[in-house]
Each structure stands twice: as structure tokens, then as C-alpha cells.
Amino acid sequence: MAEDITKSPLYKIANPQSIVVFGASSDPTSMGSIQLNALMDLGFKGKIYPVHPRDKIIMGLKAYASVQDLPEVPDLALIVVPTKIVGEILRYCGEKGIRHAIVVSGGFKELGEEGARLEEELKEIAKVYGIRFLGPNCIGVANPYARLNTTIFKYTAPPGYIGMASQSGSFVTQMFDYIKLFNMGFSTAFSVGNEADLDLVDCLQYFALCPHTKVITLYIEGIRRGRQFVEIAREVSLSKPIVAYYAGGTNTGKRAGLGHTGAVAGPEKLYEGAFKQAGIIKANNVQELFLIAWAFQNLPLPKGNRVVVLTHSGGPGAAAADACGRAGLEMPELNKELVEKLKNYLPSTANLKNPVDATFSKNMIVYYTELPQIILDHSTTDVLFYYSFMPQERVKAILKEMNIKEEQMEEMAKEILKEQTELIRSIMLKTQKPIMCFNFRDPRDPYVAALIERNIPVFSDPHLGAKAIKALLDYWVWRNNRKKGDGYEK
Amino acid sequence: MAEDITKSPLYKIANPQSIVVFGASSDPTSMGSIQLNALMDLGFKGKIYPVHPRDKIIMGLKAYASVQDLPEVPDLALIVVPTKIVGEILRYCGEKGIRHAIVVSGGFKELGEEGARLEEELKEIAKVYGIRFLGPNCIGVANPYARLNTTIFKYTAPPGYIGMASQSGSFVTQMFDYIKLFNMGFSTAFSVGNEADLDLVDCLQYFALCPHTKVITLYIEGIRRGRQFVEIAREVSLSKPIVAYYAGGTNTGKRAGLGHTGAVAGPEKLYEGAFKQAGIIKANNVQELFLIAWAFQNLPLPKGNRVVVLTHSGGPGAAAADACGRAGLEMPELNKELVEKLKNYLPSTANLKNPVDATFSKNMIVYYTELPQIILDHSTTDVLFYYSFMPQERVKAILKEMNIKEEQMEEMAKEILKEQTELIRSIMLKTQKPIMCFNFRDPRDPYVAALIERNIPVFSDPHLGAKAIKALLDYWVWRNNRKKGDGYEK
């Protein structure tokens, strides 16, 4: 594996200084134009050269009749033209000296034999000129740090820490809004399309070296270089967690995937085995893929499987316990010393088993301060699974009781949210143990929004939280065993 | 089973004309006061009589020193007092002639032997006076049609069609905001607590007769009257779907439930069998409970398991196919006649297998009109599984292309949303086949919001949508077989 990210064949694709665009035109509804628009919208700082046989100005940029006319050799070619002329364009690029391309155009291997032949031709041309390329049948790259977005949607999330390599362009572009819901952003996201040249393995190697990437996510319909994939992923997993959703496992999934990028899907079990060997965390759907990544990005890894559930009402506690049971997590009986410590802060109606049920209490502040602190501080707790729910009506009722004036209330309620959520974060950082929050609130709820803003994940159902805890734990165990050298996968 | 809802022992509890409240006081942070506040907030139209030994006025209402002083016999007593005086209060109520009560106070069976003894005492007193009661250790009832809400939170959802009977008060009160996210509301929700008298079975019988209830949801930690439960549910299921989440199935779940309402949890398999026999749809978590109810409330039942997936990008289609495979749904090859009909509306790059992948098209309107119409109209389609995603940037780009002025754009975009979403609803109603929408959008996305507003469920991941389709299908099969009388459960 390369030690220097600039040596990665994907480096210039994700970090170009200049781009030539084929397929944008004065028609703003064409796909090439939409992509150029997204690129300009993010404020790409390098040079952009549209090439078009007739149009002279495209979206305010000077357009060139041919790639030969360009005043320099661009780092990257973005090709969004009819299938039959893609080869020709790529050849012109090669002659100009361009060595990196993104082929957006479809109509290749994914459409059958004739398409497969055209794809082989493309590979030949690339080989002749030493061009490394992404695609065909892809949507390109989003790297918000380089203000690069070649896709068809505006990049709306903040620059972030999630690396994404996807065999579906949708799970790059159509996730921009989605990941923003979790206050997440991509470090860089690659749509790899048919992977005629660069593939998931290259992406893994890139992300291993990418300084912004904390967690790697993969959307897989079928893996092409199986052995290399497992070998490289096994290495990369040692430093960064990889979470993957494989959609080709069922027969219906397989058929759908085949129609899409022409990858070869295998039985679920095969992929499961490969993932396990490589330390890859398996997600069962898109939602899990990003929720687990959210947990990896923001929570310390648990160092054991002893979960303590903290709740102030029975139902959510029982649901969390049920979720832990299903996910294979342990909820041991509460340590006696811990019980004694908690007793000082709880009403007599509280239940001091696991879940710890604080029940209804007039002094609700203790639920957000002393209780999580005491539970996580104790050596017998590995994870706090926390029903984090702070009804704003109650906060305001208490402020009213304290004779706070109506006009100061909003601000004070905000201040309380800030203090409480920052405290939770600081407890987690100090103890280096994860706090997994869950509730059943609208994401617009002020308390939920305040937690998310401070990068404390809040799961909308405990079964999702339990799965994420299990994912973190599995990764910790795998990595530990790998480091010890005794082979977790045996 | 009673034929007349007014004969149900729960009728006066859910539809009282007058209520006496024990436990509200001049201290607004006490639980009783919070409940009285929620009751008044929803605008209860009947009489409310607070009883308090010292306070003369509570929240602007005249308070009485004793229940004997009340000018009438109230329909319902709401009791939120310390455990040790609950029996005494209930006795006074009985002497006054009150025949219905909600005992909110905890400290009974859920706390062990001494509590169990107190609970038996309570039952004895109730028996003497012929009082039917909910609880103890419950949060009471929300019936928005009667503007009744005895719980600790304000009822914020619209009056709706979901009946809820819950062994956890949280899954009544803390769901008010949650179900609103789906434009749903409760018809009536009962928190049954320890079920010393009235229980889940009584609730089922009530909902069967309740004119507002379309779907019944249950949160179960353990069933007390097993045989009656199955018998009654089996009858009720014939007319209304029942969806249940049982949280006591795992060992951890069981332990948590035991600590909560003292119900007896059994192994998951036992409950699964009972549910199947009774036609109850099993949810695996709270999220599924309400999402499946959402589907039941708004979609026609599928009359077969042939699902056609419609998408405009490969990834979401493959993920939907994977979800169908995992849920046990069929995605047959597309019928030839159907393919011919669709061809007229699709670009050459489109994939006419199942999923139908419309790919990128300049004329995006066809995706929201002709395609769903044609697919659902065809006799070989039972369900349309629809990647319903309408990026507003694209809509606006197209309007711009049509020379629509900036100032008219917002309104026109809104008009398009209205038209398109109403069309989807009308196709579904005309064909009486379900359209299951999914996408990965922020619920605040204008298109998603417009769909939800028109009671078209939109699922945030296809695996959730597939599970809901399967639930509807299972129910249809069960009910059909029951009606035919050949015993589906054999």
C-alpha cells in the first residue's frame, strides 16, 4: 500500500487543480450541465474548461471547441457524453496528456454484451495513454475539502469525516441531505460505477491515507477483486473502521444489482465470511450503514460488553433491554457499590436493577448530570445506553416555578440545553466510554437537535442503538485480537 | 363481546362527562398537577373537580376538601396520590357512587410482595363497590375526540385512527410527538399499568367497537389472560388489524419488564405462536410498531405478493430488491405486455426488468404520473414499491427552463407537489393497490412533507417499507383464510 496519498491513482481525481468537462452545454437540463452547475455551486477553486463543439460560453465560462485547444493539461477530465463517443473523447484526452478521468456516461457493461465490448475498448485506450479513471456509469466524486463535487446534486452537508465508496451514484449524491440530518459530512465520496479501472479496493487504499476520513462506508452490489479486497480491507481496518452494506445477497437483490453496474453478486454467506475476515462491519441496509458510521465517528469504542441502561420510564427501558438481548449485548446486574452510589440521587420509587429506572422525579437535573456520570465512572460499566429525553415543557415548568420571567425563559432553556449536552459529551470524553443516546422524538426537538449539533448521536429507536453498540464492540474485539496476533476470525 | 361500546367498562374511562382529580395541588411540579394541566390544555369539556385537603383553588378550579363534598357523582376518578392512601381514596370514591377510576399511583405489584398485597387490597375495595379501574402504575388515557388527556404530556397530535393499549405509559405519552411526524393521531390510547382490573383484553374489545379506530397497536411486556387474549384478538383481527410489539422475549427484556409492571413475560416463541393464531402482526420494535400501523391506516391491503419496484437510480432499486428478498416478498420478472406499455415513456437507457429503472430523464414528470399508473393498472402487479424522490432543485431548474419567473416559482413548485402527490393518492384509491413510497430524505423535504400530509406513507429506508408490505400481506392472507374458514394457522 502506498504511504503517500498523492501517489494514489485517485488523488488527482479527488483533488484536481483543473478539470475539463465534456457534455455541459448551453442546455441547463442536460446531465453534463447539471454536473457543471453542482461543481460551480460548491465553489471549486481550480480551473474549469468546458469543451463543446458549438457553444462558446457555458454558464459564464469560456468553452473550447476541442481539448487540444486548452491552454494547459488539466488534471482531470469529466466525461458526460453519449456512449458511442466516450472512447474517442478519452483518446483525445490521452493525446493532450491528461492522465485522470471520470466517465459518467452509461451504456457499457451494465447493458450487456455490446456494452461490455465498448467497456473493454475504453480500458484499452486508457492503458495506451496511462489514464486512470473512475466509471463508466458513475457520478464521480464529492470532496468538500477541495470544494469538488462532480455529481448532479448540490453538496449541502458540511465537510466531514465519512469516506464513501459506492457502486451506486445515488448513495453518494442522494445522501448529501441525509447525512446532514446527523450533522455528518463526507470526507470524500466516490461513485465507482462499473469499475472498469479504479474500484473499491483503490478507494479503500485512498481512504486509509486520507487525513479527513475517520470511518469508511461501502455500498456494494458485487466485489470484483475479491482476494485483494479482503487483504487490503484487513489492513485498512486496523486503523479505520469499515462499514459495508451489501445489497446483492438475496436473489432479488442480486438480480437488481446485475442490471445496475454489471458486478457479480455472490451469496450472502460468502460476503459475510469475507467481511468478518477483513474486520468489516456489516450493515443490513442503508440506514444502518450511516447510523453505524455515525456511532463510529463520534463515540469512543466500548472496551467490553457490559451495558447499563438508564431511563426515567419503564417502557423505553424494557425496549432497550429487549434490543440489547436481540443484539447480543450483556446487561449484567448492577454492581452493589454502584447501587449505593446511585441511591443518594434517586427517589424511593426508582428501580435499581439494570435498566436503572429513575422514574418520575421533581429534581430532573440529576438525571442529566450525576446519574450518567456515576454509572460511567464505575469500573463495571462499559457502555451507557441512555434514554435521553428532556421534555421542554417540563424544563419551562421548572423555570416558571423558579420565578424566571417569561422573556428570559427561552434563553435560559437554551442555556440549559447547551450545558447539559456539553456535560454529556465531556463525561464521555473523560471516561472514554460510549454513551449511546436514544429517544422517540422529532429530530427537530430542541434537546435532540442540541445533542446532534454537539456530535452526540441520538438514535430514534433503541434497536438501532443496540446494533450500533454491537458494531463498535465487534470492531474493537476484532482489532484487538488482530493486534495481539491471535486471529479473531479463527 | 359487547355490541355497544357504551357497555364497555372502558367507555366511561375514555369518555367521561366529569372527573374528580386526587393529587393535583397548588404545586405545579407535582405529578397530579402536571396531569391536570395536560387535561385542561386539551380543553376537556366536562366538569373537573380537584380534591385537596387544604388548597381551595387549583389552576383556577374550585377544589373540594373531600369527594363527599362534590355536587355530583363524577363519571371518573383520577387518582395520583401516595401509595398508602390509594385504597382509602378508592373507598371514598366507591361510597360516593363513583364506578370508574384511573389509578396512576405506583408502588404496587411492580415493587414486590408488599406492593402485591396492597394491589390485592385495591382489587377488593373495587369489587365491593363495583368500580372498574385502569392501573395502578399507569398514566391513564388520551382520547382526543373527547378532548381527554389524563397523562403528563400535552396531546399534540391530531385526533386520529390509531388505538393504543400499552403496558408502558411512555408509549402513550411520549408518542404524541412521534406519531405526529407521520401525520397520525390516536383514536384513543390506554396506559394499562399493572392491569389489576382492566387489561389489554378489555382494550381490544373497546377498540373493536370504537368508530375512530382503524388500527390497533399494543405494547406488551407480558400477557395476563393468555387464552382470552388470543380468543378476543382472533375475533377483533377479523375487522381491524392488530400490531403488537412484545418487549419481554429476550432474557434481558424479560428482566426489564418484570421490574416495570410485574407482568409475566414468556419466551418469544410462545408469543409468536399466539400472535400468529390471533392474526396479530408482530413488530420487532417501537419504530416498526408505528410504521406498520401507518401503512395499515393509509394503504389498501395487497391482494398478492407480486411487488414491482420503480426507481430512477440503480442503488435505491437494488436496496429495495434486497429488502424485498429479506422480507420474503416476490419481485417477478416484468410481464411482456407491461414492458411494452412502459417502453413508450422511457429513454433507451432505462432498465425494464424489475426494478424498473427509469434512469435519468429530462422529462421527469412521466416518473410521477404515467409510470406508477401503468404499473399499478396492470393485472400482474400487486404492490408498487416506489422510490419517490422529487428533488426540488430539479423542479425549479425545469421551471426556469420553461421561462417561469423567479417570483412565481415557489408557488408553482408547491402546486406541482400538490398535483403530483394527489395523483399518487388517487391512483392508489382507484386501483385499490398499495403504493409503498421510500426515499432517504429529510422529513422536512417539501415533497416528503407533501406526501405525508396527504396520508401517503414515505419510509426512510426500503427495508422498513418491505417489512410493512409484508405485514399488510400477512394480515390479508390470514384474514382471507379465516373468512374462508380453512384455518391459516394450521
Lowest mean pLDDT among A323-327, A364-368, B84-88, B330-334: A364-368
Q: In which band, very low, low, confident or very high, does the pLDDT at A365 lie, cut at 50, 70 and 90?
A: confident
* CB spacing of A463 vs B284 below 8 angstroms: yes
The verdict on A268 touching B (C-beta cutoff 8 Å) is no
Cell of residue B107, nine digits: 408502588
- Which residue on chain A is closest to B152 by alpha carbon? A394
Instruction: Assess whether pLDDT exceeds 70 at residue A261.
Output: no
Closest CB to A441: pick one of B177, B260, B353. B177
Per the listing, cell 495481539 goes with A484
Residues 152-181 of B with CB under 8 A from A: 152-154, 166-171, 174-175, 177-178, 180-181
Q: Largest Cα–Cα distance in chain B?
A: 82
- Tens-place pLDDT, residues B302-348: 999 999 999 998 899 999 999 999 999 999 999 999 999 999 999 88
Rounded to a whole number, what is the distance in Å from the CA of B29 to chain A's nearest CA? 7
Cell of residue B380, nine digits: 400482474
Rounded to a whole number, what is the distance in Å from the CA of A106 to chain B's nearest CA? 8
pLDDT of B256:
64
pLDDT of B489:
42
* CB spacing of B248 vs A318 below 8 angstroms: yes
Query: Which DSSP string do the residues of A113-181 spell out, in sequence order?
Result: HHHHHHHHHHHHHHHHHT-EEE-SS--EEEEGGGTEE-SSS---SPS-SEEEEESSTHHHHTTHHHHHT
CA B175 to CA B192: how far, in whole Å?
Answer: 15
* CB spacing of B169 vs A261 below 8 angstroms: no
Averaged pLDDT score across all residues of chain B: 92
Q: Which residues contact A326 (CB under 8 A, 6 or more apart)?
A: A463, A466, B250, B284
Instruction: Assess whether pLDDT exceeds 70 at residue A476.
Output: yes
Whose CA is closest to A281, among A240, A251, A316? A240
Q: Using alpha carbons only, how large is chain A's radius of gyration in Å? A: 26
Per the listing, cell 485498512 goes with A236
Q: What is the mean pLDDT of residues A314-336?
A: 94
Mutate to test the interface with B, among A255, A322, A444 (most CBs of B within 10 A): A322
Q: Which residues contact B168 (CB under 8 A, 6 or more apart)?
A: A313, A314, A315, A316, A318, B191, B219, B221, B260, B261
B116 and B262 Cβ atoms separated by less than 8 Å: yes
Would you call B251 exposed, middle or buried from its count of C-beta atoms within 10 A (0-12, 13-18, 19+)? Answer: middle
A383 and A375 Cβ atoms separated by less than 8 Å: no
* CB spacing of B360 vs A31 below 8 angstroms: yes
Would you call A417 exposed, middle or buried from its count of C-beta atoms within 10 A (0-12, 13-18, 19+)? Answer: buried
- Tens-place pLDDT, residues A338-361: 999 999 999 887 889 999 999 877
CA A320 to CA A315: how far, in whole Å?
Answer: 8
Secondary structure element (H or E) that encloses residue B89, with its range: helix B83-96
pLDDT of A260:
57
Lowest mean pLDDT among A89-93, A229-233, B122-126, B413-417: B413-417
* CB spacing of A322 vs B261 below 8 angstroms: no
Instruction: Assess whether pLDDT exceeds 50 at residue A324.
Output: yes
Closest CB to A331: pick one of B252, B321, B444. B252
Rounded to a whole number, what is the distance in Å from the CA of B119 to chain A's nearest CA? 16
DSSP E strand boundaries for B307-391: 307-311, 351-352, 356-357, 383-387
- Tens-place pLDDT, residues B429-439: 999 999 999 99
Q: What is the dihedral of CA B451, B456, B462, B466, to 10 degrees?
A: 180
CA B187 to CA B213: how far, in whole Å?
Answer: 5
pLDDT of A130:
98
Q: Please tell me whether residue A386 adopts helix, strand or coil conformation.
A: strand
Instruction: Assess whether pLDDT exceeds 50 at residue A284.
Output: yes
Question: How far from each other are the two terminal CA atoms of chain A, in whole angstroms?
Answer: 25
* CB spacing of B260 vs A318 below 8 angstroms: yes
Query: Which DSSP string do the residues of B173-237 spell out, in sequence order?
Result: HTTHHHHHTTT--EEEEEE-TT-SSS-HHHHHHHHHH-TT-SEEEEEES--SSHHHHHHHHHHHT
Q: Please tell me whether residue B101 adopts helix, strand or coil conformation.
A: strand
Q: What is the mean pLDDT of residues B214-230?
A: 95
pLDDT of B252:
67
Residue B386 — left, alpha, or beta (φ > 0 → left; ψ -120 to 50 → alpha)?
beta
The verdict on B277 touching A (C-beta cutoff 8 Å) is no
* CB spacing of A174 vs B251 below 8 angstroms: no
The verdict on A93 touching B (C-beta cutoff 8 Å) is no
- Which residue on chain A is closest to B248 by alpha carbon? A322
- Tens-place pLDDT, residues B21-55: 999 999 888 889 999 999 999 999 999 999 999 99
CA B462 to CA A289: how far, in whole Å?
Answer: 13
Closest CB to A29: pick one of B111, B326, B362. B362
CA B35 to CA A23: how far, in whole Å?
Answer: 64
- Tens-place pLDDT, residues A51-62: 999 999 999 999
Phi, psi values for residue B167, rounded to 5°: -85, 5
Strand order in the sheet with B76-79: B47-51, B18-22, B76-79, B100-103, B132-134
Would you call B193 exposed, middle or buried from its count of C-beta atoms within 10 A (0-12, 13-18, 19+)? Answer: buried
Instruction: Find the length of chain A.
Output: 490
- For residues B234 and A487, the model is more confident at B234
Instruction: Assess whether pLDDT exceeds 90 at residue A118.
Output: yes
ipTM for the assembly: 0.92
* CB spacing of A250 vs B325 below 8 angstroms: yes
Helices (H), A237-360: 251-261, 268-278, 286-298, 314-327, 336-343
In our burial notation (b when 16+ CB lie closer than 10 A, e otherwise), range A165-202 reads bbbbbbbbbbbbbbbbbbbbbbbbbbbbbbbbbbbbbb
Q: What is the mean pLDDT of residues A224-245?
A: 96
The verdict on B355 touching A (C-beta cutoff 8 Å) is yes
Find how far residue B332's CA is from the centre of its chain: 32
- Which residue on chain A is closest to B288 by alpha carbon? A461
The verdict on B322 touching A (C-beta cutoff 8 Å) is yes
CA A233 to CA A395: how far, in whole Å?
Answer: 48
The verdict on B134 touching A (C-beta cutoff 8 Å) is no
pLDDT of A400:
82
Whose CA is closest to B7, among B206, B147, B192, B148? B206
Would you call A304 exposed, middle or buried from its count of C-beta atoms within 10 A (0-12, 13-18, 19+)? Answer: middle
Q: In which band, very low, low, confident or very high, does the pLDDT at B490 lie, cut at 50, 70 and 90?
A: very low
Residue B408 — left, alpha, or beta (φ > 0 → left; ψ -120 to 50 → alpha)?
alpha
Q: In which band, very low, low, confident or very high, does the pLDDT at B444 lie, cut at 50, 70 and 90?
A: confident
pLDDT of A410:
87
Cell of residue B392, nine digits: 426540488
Rounded to a whole number, what is the distance in Å from the CA of A474 to chain B's nearest CA? 20
* CB spacing of B255 vs A400 below 8 angstroms: no
Compute how many other C-beta atoms are within 10 angstroms of the C-beta atom of residue A264: 13
CA B304 to CA B321: how far, in whole Å?
Answer: 17
Express as a percent the part of chain A with pLDDT over 70.
Answer: 94
ω before B443 within 30° of 0 (cis)?
A: no
Q: What is the DSSP letter of A305?
A: S
- Tens-place pLDDT, residues A441-468: 888 889 999 999 999 999 999 999 999 9
Q: What is the mean pLDDT of residues A69-89?
A: 97
Instruction: Tell me which chain B residues have a C-beta less than 8 angstroms from the C-beta of A462.
Output: 285-286
Would you call B303 exposed, middle or buried from its count of C-beta atoms within 10 A (0-12, 13-18, 19+)? Answer: middle
B207 and B240 Cβ atoms separated by less than 8 Å: yes
Strand partners, A354: none
Would you call B490 exposed, middle or buried from its count of C-beta atoms within 10 A (0-12, 13-18, 19+)? Answer: exposed
Q: In which band, very low, low, confident or very high, does the pLDDT at A256 lie, cut at 50, 70 and 90?
A: low
CA B225 to CA B203: how far, in whole Å?
Answer: 13
Instruction: Assess whether pLDDT exceeds 80 at residue B105.
Output: yes
The verdict on A339 touching B (C-beta cutoff 8 Å) is no
Name residue B411's amino acid: E
DSSP E strand boundaries for B56-204: 57-58, 61-62, 76-79, 100-103, 132-134, 140-143, 148-149, 162-166, 186-191
* CB spacing of B287 vs A323 below 8 angstroms: no
The verdict on A28 touching B (C-beta cutoff 8 Å) is yes
Helices (H), A158-266: 170-173, 176-180, 200-209, 226-236, 251-261
Instruction: Assess whether pLDDT exceeds 60 at residue A193.
Output: yes
Closest CB to A355: pick one of B169, B219, B256. B256
Q: What is the mean pLDDT of residues A318-330?
A: 95
pLDDT of B488:
42
CA dihedral sign of residues B399, B400, B401, B404: positive
Strand partners, B62: B57
Residues 193-212 of B with CB under 8 A from A: none
Rounded to a whole number, what is the distance in Å from the CA of A169 to chain B's nearest CA? 7
Name residue B273's amino acid: G
Whose CA is closest to B360, among A135, A155, A106? A106
CA A237 to CA B198: how far, in whole Å?
Answer: 55
CA A342 to CA A366: how far, in whole Å?
Answer: 10
Express as a percent the part of chain B with pLDDT over 90.
Answer: 81
CA B467 to CA B329: how far, in whole Å?
Answer: 9
* B57-58 vs B61-62, strand pairing mode: antiparallel
* B162-166 vs B215-220, strand pairing mode: parallel
- Tens-place pLDDT, residues B163-188: 999 999 999 999 999 999 999 999 99
* CB spacing of B250 vs A31 below 8 angstroms: no
Q: Which residues contact A384 (CB under 8 A, 6 or more apart)?
A: A307, A308, A310, A372, A375, A376, A433, A434, A435, A436
Q: Which residues contact B476 (CB under 8 A, 6 or more apart)?
A: B301, B302, B303
pLDDT of B487:
47
Name residue A192's amino acid: V
